[in-house]
Amino acid sequence: MDTTLRDGEQTSGVSFMPHEKLLICRALLESLHVDRVEVASARVSDGELEAVQRITRWAASKDMLDRVEVLGFVDDGRSLEWIERAGARTINLLCKGSRRHCEGQLGKSINEHIADIRRNVELAASKGIAVNVYLEDWSGGMKAATADTPDDYVFCLLDALIDLRGIRRIMLPDTLGILNPLETLDYMRQMVKRYPDVHFDFHAHNDYDLAVSNVLAAVLGGARGLHTAINGLGERAGNAPLASVQAILKDHFNAKTNINEEQLNRVAHMVESYSGIAIPPNKPITGSAVFTQVAGVHADGDNKDGLYQNALRPERFGRRREYALGKSSGKANVRMNLQELGLDLSDEDMKKVTDRIIELGDKKEQVTQEDLPYIIRDVLKHSDEDEHVRLLSYMVSTAYGLRPMAQVRLQIGDQIYEESAQGDGQYDAFVRAVRHIYRDRLGLKFPWLSNYSVIIPPGGRTDALVQTTIEWVYEEHSMPTRQKPPSKPQSNC
């Protein structure tokens, strides 16, 4: 079960719009083929109600409504009424899985809590709403039981609920992320041994960076359902990331799931865009750098017999392997990139180009495959080619109450063109002016800005190396371009 739209939205600073929730839900169910999705918490807001209504209408039209779940509370049916109004048919009922939470937060005894739960489950059954029971702080409840101070709270609670009609699954969350894999394995085995016919889900949190390990331990212990989130989003340190769990289950346990691995990267970046939480470059499976070989010896080994590759082939995830260009590059890295560009160099020229790339890397400059033709021209003194496009001059202006304006003069070939435009910002106005020249004056296509990032080292030093990377899409081909850092220090202004 994927909980990106519920627990994932509890990531600090994350809030999905109703249409974004629908698009993500469709991607999870239709593209990734997850079995179930938890899409919201009941009674949160009017916007949340609208989002769930959109999702349930779509899910019903696709015969997927039974795969959509909503978190609800033991509140005398108020959550059930909300869920019914939203059009959902499954409640994940949040109960207290530890004596400490039951008595400390609710101020009730276990018997009082059991009575409340039973009333809500029976009410759900009368409305035709299926129930999955969350035992919040289940891990804390299990850890409270030791040889010296036995605490049967969890077992007493389940003994009283297990026979109730309408309960499909018991969800066992490590709410505070306090378990290690050995404890997870032990506790899950205890649950399965005592209740062999019950479907148990496991819900991990990553506070100790053990979420994925605990998920795998839960599987070994007999868990039949797993809760994950795209990019590991979730409360505090987050949940177990779906991509990592899928890869490990398949490669290390030969487990079969319905997940479409080729869609993992696409959906991860879709959620990155909507959530505003960037995927770290070294994030397994979906990070920008995880299929990039840096050391020259690795590229050499790959070129000879794939010696530095494992079962995590990028093609599985709709990606490709890359070979970084920088201070650690060898000739093999350069050669692999040149092969993709259809270029070939002599050994002597290859050494010159490699030395220049290493020199740039020592200066902390990023070098990409797209830079290679220009580096080759510079190093090998191929200066007979003039720049095809030159920015001769530009002026941008902004004023209170008026849209920003830009005036641009370009030389393209032997001709000089000048154009002006307004935009939503100064940069937008500048690009619109250039686009007018290309599209309106020359009848040419213009690349589309798809993404950008600005890297500013911390500390506020005036000699800080600031780099801007802008990614363009032209005829379905992605092209990253960068602002070259100044040769002399400039002020932060």
Among this protein's residues, is 6 annotated catalytic?
yes
Return the structure tokens found at 290.
């995880």
Q: How far apart are CA 423 and CA 417, in angstroms?
A: 19
- End-to-end CA separation in angstroms for the chain: 49
**Active-site pick, 9, 136, 235, 419:** 136
Q: In what order do the strands lie in the sheet with 467-474?
A: 448-455, 467-474, 477-482
> Rounded to the nearest 10 degrees, what angle do helices 18-26 and 264-275 cross at?
170
CB–CB of 456/445 below 8 Å?
A: no
Q: How far is Cα 466 from Cα 451, in angstroms, rounded to an integer?
A: 17
Among candidate residues 6, 36, 54, 319, the one labeled active-site is: 6
Using an 8 Å Cβ cutoff, are 24 and 271 in contact?
yes
For residue 362, the one-letter residue type is D
Interatomic CA distance for residues 27 and 271, integer angstroms = 10
Which residues belong to the active site?
Answer: 6, 136
